[in-house]
Structure formats: structure tokens, C-alpha cells
Amino acid sequence: MDFRNEPLGLVARILALLSLFIGLGDAARLLGLGSGSASPVVLMGTMGFVLLSALTLMRLFASVGLWIQSSWGAIVLAASLVIEIGFYLAGSNWVSLGLWSFIFKLGVMLATFALLALAQLWVQRQLAD
């Protein structure tokens, strides 16, 4: 399953850019930008820092996968967003999201699920023809 047809490819590229921006924003948090002189490891805790590092790498790899219009990019992006939103909704101290960040990431997650569902429908339609 790939996203090489016109509407799915465009959505995949848009999600790739969103994933890239989310990943770069997380990387900036890991580097301590905007936190003053405090260490990001101290602010987030060791497990929070490790979790954010893994999610950052997942999102950056997902942006590459989505840009080349491969389905594994959407799966990796969806997995990273499900993990982060799941930890946030469970009340974990490792993930801190503001309201707008939560709404944005939830929207990106739902758009990723919609892309995967539409791609699956496209494949089944092609097999039926």
C-alpha cells in the first residue's frame, strides 16, 4: 500500500511536513531551547527525556516515510502520536502538553488514521476492478 495516487499523495506530503515540524519542535525541547539555563533532563526527568527522544526520532523518520509516500511513514507517525496522547491521557508526568498542542496532535493523529483508511479503501477498490 502506497500513497502514489494524487489526493493521497498530497495528504501524505502535508502530514510529512507536519511530522517534520513536530519532530523539530520536540528536538528543540530536547536541546533545551526556551528553558533558560535549566537542563532539559532535569526539567523533564530522565524517563521523560528518553520518551521524548524516542518520539522525536519516530516523527523524523515518519516524515521521511511520508515524504516518499510509503505507508510505513504513516504507521510510525500514528504510533508516535498514539503513544504520546496515551501517556498524556493516562496522567503521566513524562508528557506535558498544552491544550492547543493536544488538539493539534489529536488532529494530526486522526488525519493519519484517515489517510491509512483511505489508502486501504483505494487498494480494495483497485482489487475489485
Q: Is 117 within the bounds of a domain? A: yes
Let me know if residue 1 belongs to a domain: no
What are the tens digits of pLDDT across the range 50-87? Answer: 999 999 999 999 999 999 999 899 999 999 999 999 99
Q: Are the beta carbons of 77 and 62 closer than 8 angstroms?
A: yes
Find the domain containing 30 and state its range: 6-128
Contacts of 81 (CB under 8 A, 6+ apart): 105, 106, 108, 109, 112
42 in any annotated domain: yes
User: Can you give the pTM of this predicted structure?
Assistant: 0.91
Please state the domain count of the chain. 1
Instruction: Pinpoint the alpha helices (H) of 1-129.
Output: 6-31, 40-44, 46-67, 71-89, 99-128
Write the pLDDT tens digit of every residue in 80-126.
999 999 999 999 888 888 899 999 999 999 999 999 999 999 888 88
Provide the grid cell at 101: 498542542
